[in-house]
Structure 1
Amino acid sequence: MHKLMLSGITGVIAGCFITPFYILTTAAVTVSVVLLICALWRFTGRHLTGRKRSLAYRLLQYSLILFVTLLFSALWRQSQLQHRLPQSLDRSYIEARVLIDQVTQRERGQRLRVTVLSARMLNQVNQTAELPALRQLQLNWYPRRDDVVPRAGNEVVIRAVLRAPRNFANGLAFDYEAYLLTKGIDAGGYIRSLDLQQEQQPHTEPRQQLRQTLLKRVTEAATPWVAGLLLADQQAFSARQWRTAAYTGTLHLLVVSGLHVGLIALAGWLIGAVVMRLVSLVPARRLPSPGWLRLLPVVAVTGGYVWLAGAGIALQRAWLMILLAAVLAMHRRRPDWLEIVLAVMLLVLLFNPLIWTRPGFGFSFVAVIALLAGFRGRKSHRLEGLILPQWQVFMALLPVMLWWGQSVGAQHLLANIVAIPWLTLVLMPLTLLAVLTSAPLISDLLAAAGDLFWAWLEFAQQLALPQFAHLSLPVIVLWYLLLIVFWLGVPRWLMWAGQACMLWALFLMPPAEQRSVMMADVGQGLAVIFRDGTRALIYDMGARFSERFDAGSAIVFPLLRQSGAQQVDQIMISHNDNDHAGGLSGFLRLARAYGMPVGSIVAGQPQEDETYPQTSCDDPQAADGRLSRWQNLTPTLRWRMLAIPLSERSQIRAVDNNQSCVIQVDWHGLRFMLSGDLEKDGEALLVSRYGAELQSDILLVGHHGSKTSTSPIFLNAVKPAQAWISAGFNNRFGHPHAAVMARLQAQDVRILNTAGCGLVRMKRPGLPVCQRHGWQPPWRQR
């Protein structure tokens, strides 16, 4: 049975990468070859007997399951992609009648998730492509004061600009396009106008009504814990609290998971025990089996809770495991833990074949396998029973956390040692009691316990303790092989000693020292990382998109960690526009939380920051030439400022773009010119001041390729062999401008644009590689 389920799991995952035509063709050829072999075998008078026949039947079963799941997964993926807005229709302007499913308040405006009832295109972006049958959209809405505020359940007519789903291609683990496919969202975009069809009280679905009723039973101070811990409302905790949990490695505690379902199952088990006790008092014998009476409340109560909490991956997994274990128990069969886990994994994958691309899938199943494998056939005393489960889960999840870009270190261990028992033994029971009793005293105790929880995490966050380095794939494989050895039943003292040595080895493992230059794919923005050994220089940080997402923390910092950098020696922020400086605060917040040293920060328009003071490009050191001399970070990485003195700035337009810091970087003998958004008059001043010194091998094209920059005189002075452009795909500004592209092409300059390349990475001088030009999964839009 295990091999049969593994065949199905393999088929579902592999089917996401293969077309149905290829599967059917391969199957037809395989069946033809097998039939031919069978015919030849029969013709020669041979027969399969005994073990050979049994083996042949098993292989036939595995092959059949593999083929069916392969085909199912491939057809599912193809069906999803038929509804998705293609890249060729990006920025389509549509009018649609939609039903609002969800309204989420954002920092600016609202985010609406809507079901499309009908839609038509108002502009013809592509003459050959037709608008697909859109199902669900995720749209931003920035209402004016006099606009109607929509609510879930309203039916409205909208005019919206649609954006095709497209990943930031930086080689990081999270796959945004796959995420949208698993959620059934076919396009994003923003609403230009919204008209309410009819004034009516929006219909509230039963689940939402029940959630609101439960929240009314507790005080306002306790509401976040009931909404977040019990009902899986991600808006219950603030953006700052989510960041604190992420920085301390306790994010898994705030995500409703199998732990919560287990506590609810315990309540169901107690209900079943009461029911059985009552049944035993009834003289009649024609009643359901006692086993059914004990297990039905467990399945029913946990199923209702999973529905109420939104049926996330971990909840689906936990409930399906309970259901399968109950079915096996009713048939008087002792459950096989591995059989149950594999069956549940297969069911979850069949429900949504791309769900394995989301972090919750790995976290959920790795955690439960660690618990079941680690305790199979073992006896533990009470203290060990409290500590060992969470220790086993941590050891199993550590590579998963590092794979998904989470920094993990000693302070995370310390934070979890206190936070896990506090949440399990205090917060969760108080949350359930507060809802069940509706007593203000219990709600107040819950709020106070919650404040202590956050206070502890804030304290742990401030500790600058050693961090684990990013793990390579061979190290991850070795890690799990060693865990399997320790779970197979070695003496307990050897298990503890061995796993402690594994952690110590990770702390001692030096990070991979790389030399590289990376221009990150941050959309319509700029972020460039120069690496040499463990040292780094960063020029710009990309944009801040919302209170929960910015390029500095979501892209630049993970890339830096992945490349093995241990410190940042120099940060340059060209000027204060959001697309260049917006990600700085998020990056510095992560650097502070994870104890990464940050050197000096030089900015075109410096901001006040007590922890990380910023120096202006107009600092006297720049004007008198001291920063214009080469500054060595390593023997093969150096930089210098190309400053425009304050006395000459009156000759150029007084705009933010002309405040840009201009630097030249020498990396392993290659020179890079970075001018931010400096405009043509500023470029002319640079040419008159520095002349032939501007010559560089690679030009980071100014202002994303706008026609206001990269003048002929500047281009002739720099004389680049390559031009790197950081611009958003199909951006509304039309960058890079056709005139700039023509100018570069006329000088036979090799052009690399993040809009088509994704991340541009150079590991060997003169040989850049584009992230999008390698192999891409079939659901990825290039």
Structure 2
Amino acid sequence: MSARVPWFGIAASAGLLAGVVACLWLPTLAPWPVRAVCMAAGAALALRKPGLRWLGLALVGFGWAGLHAGWVLSTQLPARLEKRELAISGRIVDLPQSEPRRTRFQFRVDDSQNQLPELRGKRLQLAWYDDYDAVELGPRTQLRAGARWRFNVRLRAPRGLRNPGGFDSERYALAQRIAATGYLVDAETARQLAPPSGLQAWRESESARIAKGTPAASSRFVRALALGDTRFLDDADWQVLRAAGLTHLIAISGFHVGLVAGFCALLGAGLWRLFPVFARRMPRPQVAAVSAFVGAAGYAAVTGFALPTLRTGLMIAVVVVARCGRRPLRALDALALSLIAVLVCDPLSVLAAGFWLSFGGVAWLVWCLPGERTRSLWREFLSAQGVATLGLLPLTVVLFGQASLVGPLANLGAIPWWSLVVVPLSLFGTGLDVLHAGWGDWAWKLAAACFEPSWQVFSAMARSRFALYWMSEPAWYALPLALLGAFWLLLPRGVPGKALAAMLWLPMLWPDRDLPEPGAVQLTVIDVGQGLSVLVRTHDHALLYDTGPAVPDGFDAGERAVLPTLHALGVARLDRVVVSHGDNDHAGGFQAVQRGMPVLDSLTPAGSPVPARHACAVGQVWEWSGVKFRFLHPTPHFPYLKNEASCVLRVESAHGAALLTGDIGGVIERELVRRAARDLRADVVLAPHHGSGGSSDPAFVAATQAKVAIVSAGYANRFGHPRPQVVERWREAGAEVLNTADSGAITVWLDRHGPGVRERRRWQARLWDAAALRGD
């Protein structure tokens, strides 16, 4: 007979977690009757079969997560309301982030009869744009957290780019319960209905007070640590934090919540020691526990109830309940009970990286470190840092695709200094300012003064060539193998085979880069929205054709899409970058690519505004690893005519050819048919000009005899690309037409196995992008 499994033990929590993860990582969501039956059957099994309680809770987790995900997805904006101008009113529910040409904010629509039923009470992610040619900032800078406004907007269901190594904005929207994203139209009709009020308004005003009372450059970090206001950290700041492995200390984390809770516990216990008579009403341990919970809840409120603070607050609440009930609770039991509480309250929290890092870090520490102090405080701190570094490295690589080699050293200084000096001073100043305006200025200034020298040190460390190491995207089995290796390495010293355990890290640290064989070629059309970027890889070389769009002071596809894809595919340098012409949707990301990766050579048409080293022209030919590259256009002395001057590149392998066409139109297409018809024959063709109506001339389409035609276009773009008649023209000629808007990144192999195609959205399908697969 199997042993009885406790309701709130480690086995029960592991079973519940396994069920939640299994549900959310399926490619599609199970029908709701299946989810409901799983919950009912799991609950019955857990009640009637104590030995199989873990399995019953796994079924409960599967059904519970599925019901949550199904409800959130059902609340997203229906397709019939997309592209329509809608009038909405509601409240700004977070701190608006103002940039030189736009302001982004989250908005909750009023739950009233005056709103569309599909939008009532929904959370939206909105942007208020200025005209790109505007110089002065518009009234959007007057947006304040907690204020009520009326806007005219255009919305769409959450939709993002899908690339190797890229940020999954659709998963983020699901976890944050965002029903739609959009932007304001007719900004002059926007009206404020009520002034700022509530917690978010207080946070924004307090952040402004810190900026006014602390003129030092480090005041932006004081605001981040005291209030969770990271709006004023720029890209350079985040780059330093990532390279030094310190992001978790700036973004309000569970550690900060625990620090505040511990201080409040000590304060409550100290007060009871000063006045022992109070113990007649309530024992000191219970007072310390309640004080810790009050402190954690208060800090979570001050930081805007960010998800990491809520998770930690819930964990502390579990411990407080056990302590107030005078029940003994081991650290491992507290962790299991906290995990169950988080999954019951929010099963979608497993979609956030912070969930795995927080619970994973605590689990490693609980398992590896002794429960009672047997060594000095400093040795315990070093041991904890070593355990956390080794145990969380596999998760960090999988979640972020990078590892900081100087991170462990930087954390040795940052954790005690920032968390025990800078954070307490920042919070103390905020508390004093609440009591009386201006009282907290000295504490904020002292916090900034203490922070500044350490920032200089960590910035120097981040500039080291050993700082940040980008990792290729590993296979699915690399994470469990690496975790098993970490587990084995952290076993007691006498356990044999630790050198062999280190071998289990190899699939993660040195994954297969899936390079083509000599004579073969691989093309990856990166999903950059309304633009173009194609990575061409041979066995030994890499070429990038175009770099995607970049909006001034906004989205830069070179930084957000192209570079993450290159890192995930293991590209360490680019032997050549070809920018087909100077239009923004093809050349906008060029500078970001140059900053982020070594570029040995670059080409663009003569007369193009792109600062490339050489000009592309007919007659330029080179060969890499048995693959021949040749420009078919422009001819020498061809005037720069933007689209019509695009570099047309033919890539010819031993197993087939590909044609990269830029934005050429019908005139140039017909000229190519007349001048070089035989050179146009290709297995894979990039449809010219994103499939516009003025391109893909019938004679050109027929001359290519393409098997695959790829369109790089943005979802629901305002140009209507690709045009239906163009798509039909390619299909009638026998080509399969693929669009990055539907497929995400598209990878094509031209090798001895014949042309092979992989669409990112279908190859790694997730239930939160099922609407995209349906073509809604």
CA offsets 1:433-470 (integer angstroms, 9 cap, x no match): 55467576654443344333443343233332383643
Give the aligned partner of residue 295 of structure 1: 289
CA offsets 1:715-755 (integer angstroms, 9 cap, x no match): 34433232111112221111112332233233222212222
Q: 2:125 aligns with which of 134, 138, 153?
A: 138
CA offsets 1:243-287 (integer angstroms, 9 cap, x no match): 33224432222111122123212321321232112222x3x8742
Give the aligned partner of residue 612 of structure 2: 614
Give the secondary structure class of the aligned counterpart of 2:400: coil
Q: 1:571 aligns with which of 565, 569, 577?
A: 577
After superposition, where does 1:692-711 map in structure 2 within 5 Å? 692-711=678-697
Q: Does 1:244 align with 2:235?
A: no
Amino acid at match of 2:604: A
Q: Distance in 2 between matches of 1:289 and 1:458?
A: 48
Q: Distance in 2 between matches of 1:194 and 1:301?
A: 42
CA RMSD after TM alignment: 3.6
Q: 1:632 aligns with which of 623, 626, 640?
A: 623
Q: Distance in 2 between matches of 1:27 and 1:503?
A: 37
Displacement after TM superposition at 1:64 (Å): 5.2
Q: Distance in 2 between matches of 1:423 and 1:31?
A: 46
After superposition, where does 1:205-604 map in structure 2 within 5 Å? 205-206=198-199, 208-209=201-202, 212-213=205-206, 216=209, 218-221=213-216, 222-280=218-276, 282=277, 286-377=280-371, 379-413=374-408, 415-432=410-427, 434-435=429-430, 438=439, 443-465=444-466, 467=469, 469-470=471-472, 471-490=474-493, 509=510, 512-515=513-516, 516-533=522-539, 535-544=541-550, 547=553, 549-591=555-597, 597-604=598-605
Relative to 1, partners in 2 of residues 1:532 and 1:568: Cα closer, same or farther, differing over 3 Å? same
Any conservation in 2 of the 1:405–1:558 contact (CA below 8 Å)?
no
CA offsets 1:280-312 (integer angstroms, 9 cap, x no match): 2x3x87421222222222221122111211222
Q: Distance in 2 between matches of 1:509 and 1:300?
A: 47
After superposition, where does 1:55-70 map in structure 2 within 5 Å? 57-59=49-51, 61-62=53-54, 65-70=57-62
CA offsets 1:411-449 (integer angstroms, 9 cap, x no match): 445544554454345533443455467576654443344
Displacement after TM superposition at 1:372 (Å): 2.0
Give the secondary structure class of the aligned counterpart of 1:568: coil
Q: Does 1:773 align with 2:762?
A: yes
Give the secondary structure class of the aligned counterpart of 2:186: strand
Amino acid at match of 1:585: Q
Displacement after TM superposition at 1:684 (Å): 3.7
Q: Distance in 2 between matches of 1:669 and 1:95?
A: 55
Displacement after TM superposition at 1:574 (Å): 1.4
Q: Distance in 1 between matches of 2:328 and 2:78?
A: 50
Give the secondary structure class of the aligned counterpart of 2:281: coil
Relative to 1, partners in 2 of residues 1:261 and 1:558: Cα closer, same or farther, differing over 3 Å? same
Displacement after TM superposition at 1:608 (Å): 9.0
Any conservation in 2 of the 1:182–1:354 contact (CA below 8 Å)?
yes
Any conservation in 1 of the 2:629–2:651 contact (CA below 8 Å)?
yes
Q: Does 1:9 align with 2:5?
A: no
Q: How many residue pairs get matched?
A: 731
Relative to 1, partners in 2 of residues 1:198 and 1:297: Cα closer, same or farther, differing over 3 Å? same
Q: Distance in 2 between matches of 1:511 and 1:421?
A: 39
Amino acid at match of 1:639: F
Give the secondary structure class of the aligned counterpart of 2:482: helix
Displacement after TM superposition at 1:702 (Å): 1.0
Amino acid at match of 1:644: P
Give the secondary structure class of the aligned counterpart of 1:614: coil
Relative to 1, partners in 2 of residues 1:338 and 1:143: Cα closer, same or farther, differing over 3 Å? same
Q: Distance in 1 between matches of 2:320 and 2:578?
A: 60
Give the aligned partner of residue 33 of structure 2: 21
Amino acid at match of 1:98: G
Q: Distance in 2 between matches of 1:500 and 1:272?
A: 47
Q: Name whichever of 111-120 and 690-699 sits farther off.
A: 111-120
Q: Name whichever of 453-462 and 661-670 sits farther off.
A: 453-462
Amino acid at match of 2:649: I
Structure possessing the higher radius of gyration over alpha carbons: 1
Q: Distance in 2 between matches of 1:201 and 1:483?
A: 55
Q: Does 1:754 align with 2:733?
A: no
Give the secondary structure class of the aligned counterpart of 1:12: helix
Amino acid at match of 1:776: A
Give the aligned partner of residue 519 of structure 2: none
TM-score when scaled to structure 1? 0.84
Amino acid at match of 1:279: F
Q: 1:72 aligns with which of 58, 64, 80?
A: 64
Relative to 1, partners in 2 of residues 1:181 and 1:504: Cα closer, same or farther, differing over 3 Å? closer
Q: Distance in 2 between matches of 1:200 and 1:746?
A: 55
Q: Does 1:664 align with 2:650?
A: yes
Q: Name whichever of 512-521 and 181-190 sits farther off.
A: 512-521
Q: Name whichever of 182-191 and 221-230 sits farther off.
A: 221-230
Any conservation in 2 of the 1:543–1:581 contact (CA below 8 Å)?
yes
Q: 2:663 aligns with which of 677, 694, 698?
A: 677
Q: Does 1:83 align with 2:75?
A: yes
